[in-house]
Amino acid sequence: MFDRGGALARGGWRLAVETRGAAHGVVVSRRRTFTPGLCIVEPIFDAPLEAEDIESALFDAAPAPFREALAAAGAPEPVAALAGERHAWRWTREGVSTEVVLDADVRDALAPSREAEERNALRELHELHELHELHELRVSVAWDEGADAAPLVDALFACAHDIVDVLPAFVRVTDALERAAAGCAAGDVAAVHADPVDLRGAATAEAALLAIGANISAQWFGNDAGVRDSPNTEFIHQMRVSQRRLRTAMRIFSRWRDAVWNTHIAPELKWLGGLLGEARDRDVFVESTLPALAGADTEPARWNELRDAAEAQRAAARARVREALASPRYAHAALAWLQWLAALARRSGASNEDGRSLYRHARKRVRRYYERLAQTQKLTAIDEASRHRVRIAAKYLRYTLEFFTSITSRRTRTQTARTLSRLQSVLGDGNDAAVALRYLERMDAEPYQLGFARGWCEAVKRYTAKEGERLLRELPPPKVSRGA
């Protein structure tokens, strides 16, 4: 793929040279995201090349908009290169003819199979997967801008659900060329943190939910491969954050929780969140709390055996997460979420029945969460379970303000956000101490260690309650502004 500083990609253009045997051709397409995981690709131009040199392409016959974009971008430079072996099948799903394309790793060098009959397509895909390192699998349909999108999208997802029943396949919301162009080579991938939500052009609450859903999807699916394959614990943390953000978003936009959400998505997110939460708690216990306990003891070496046992328990929790993410259950849950988001986009584009103001919706939710937090009893006077509920309320308000950052006041984006982040962190430290004590009580700890841990954890909880109370009373009221 060729570009110059990403200028073409930002305009939705893709310029590539395709090589098949000794033949080279230049291919130009225009791309736009319909919803996460669904991309509309418009073929623009293709022509043969005498060599792989893009400078020899005859772009005079290309449409004027592309020539103008290319001139503005400057001389194209190679930004990514992929090699693979391509197989393709066609079969009908939901009355729509779909195409499935498998790009397999060329190291296996199988001869391309003939086009499979519909009844044999899934079986052949499975056989190929046994022989190849699966690189990328795409499902497509012929798109008609003037036609009803519902049958086309439903056929794509029906086909995808069929595939994950027989293959260990998982969702990616970017394709291989995009990831390669971004430098996301295997073994060189960083955990994906939440980006600011872009609400430009979102006048209604429904439009905001679509933008927030796309933002959360980028964080979710940007981390799941790392959770599956990398020892870096930050992937688990960021994927867990994405799930918590999603659950918070659906509290904020509770009116849009329909039967599909309640039946096919929410229970699966609860299952996944429980596994991620356990793995994350184990990470914190091993990497933070236990070292702090050992460091506070005059004989830190006496904690080594417990740390080894805790490490084994952490490895088991991580293995359960990896097993879950490799399961058809997880793949179906991910597809169900993306399909729900696509259905929301179709309904939103088809009518304006739910044109309630984003400003009014955001102001109401922010006020509700803030008042719930501000009316909390003194943190030093309530029990551990009550403080945990306050921490959850702080999390809801923080995520809500992050979703609506672009329409909040400057003071909210600075002072309120900083204080709220610190409050959640402090109360989180207290919760980590409580979780650590519960773990230790279920382990083969010595009476001395349990007594030491109880005293240490109690001191942490008292400090965090006192500091949390100070931060809570200093929390400036957030403000949603029309002109922000």
85 and 162 together in one domain: yes
pLDDT of amino acid 351: 53
Interatomic CA distance for residues 146 and 227, integer angstroms: 40
**Cβ contact 243:235 at 8 Å:** no
In angstroms, rounded to a whole number, what is the distance separating the alpha carbons of residues 81 and 100? 22
Q: What is the pLDDT of residue 92?
A: 83
Strand partners, 140: 99
In a domain, 24, yes or no: yes
Helix (H, G, I), strand (E, B) or coil at 221: helix
* Residue pair 209/217 in contact by the 8 Å Cβ criterion: no
Among 88-97, 189-198, 288-297, 453-462, the range scoring the smallest mean pLDDT is 88-97
Q: How many C-beta atoms surround the C-beta of residue 407 within 10 A? A: 21
More confident residue, 484 or 158: 158
Q: Which residue has the higher pLDDT, 447 or 23?
A: 447
Is residue 237 within a helix (H) or strand (E), and if so which, with residue range? helix 234-252
Query: From CA 165, how far away is CA 407, in angstroms rounded?
Result: 43
Is 415 domain-assigned?
Answer: no
Stretch among 55-64, 92-101, 114-123, 214-223 having the lowest mean pLDDT: 114-123
Q: How much is the average pLDDT of 439-463? A: 94
89 shares a domain with 44: no
Is residue 71 located within the same domain as residue 91? Answer: no
pTM: 0.88
Segment 296-310 shows an average pLDDT of 94
Q: Is residue 88 part of a domain?
A: yes
Range of the structural domain that residue 48 is part of: 2-78
Give the range among 3-17, 287-301, 328-342, 447-461 with minimum mean pLDDT: 3-17
d(CA 454, CA 449): 8
User: Is the domain of 91 the same as that of 160?
Assistant: yes
Q: Which of 27, 47, 78 is the last residue of a domain?
A: 78
Q: How many domains does the chain have?
A: 2
Q: Are residues 66 and 98 in the same domain?
A: no
The whole-number pLDDT of residue 107 equals 40
> Does 253 fall in a domain?
no
Do 91 and 152 sit in the same domain of this protein? yes
CA dihedral (252, 258, 259, 263) positive or negative: negative
Q: Which of 169, 198, 232 is the last residue of a domain?
A: 169
- Banded pLDDT at 117 (limits 50, 70, 90): very low
Report d(CA 172, CA 97) in Å as an integer. 22
Q: Mean pLDDT lowest for which of 257-261, 351-355, 420-424? A: 351-355
Work out the pLDDT band at 112, boundaries 50, 70, 90. very low
Distance CA 421, CA 399 (A): 10
Q: Is the pLDDT of residue 202 over 60?
A: yes
pLDDT at residue number 46: 87
Assess whether pLDDT exceeds 60 at residue 282. yes
pLDDT winner (highest mean) among 123-132, 139-148, 192-201, 460-469: 460-469
Amino acid identity, position 310? A
Place of tokens 């971008």: 73
Flag whether 113 is in a domain: yes
Tokens encoding 22: 């000794």
Please state, rounded to an integer, the average pLDDT across all residues of the chain.
Answer: 87
Which is more confident, 113 or 52? 52
Q: 18 φ, ψ to 5°?
A: -105, 130
Is a pLDDT exceeding 80 seen at residue 6? yes
Identify whether residues 6 and 41 lie together within a single domain.
Answer: yes
Q: Looking at 26, 58, 78, which one is the last position of a domain?
A: 78
Mean pLDDT of the region 227-238:
94
Cβ atoms of 172 and 221 closer than 8 Å: yes
The residue that leads in pLDDT, 483 or 396, is 396
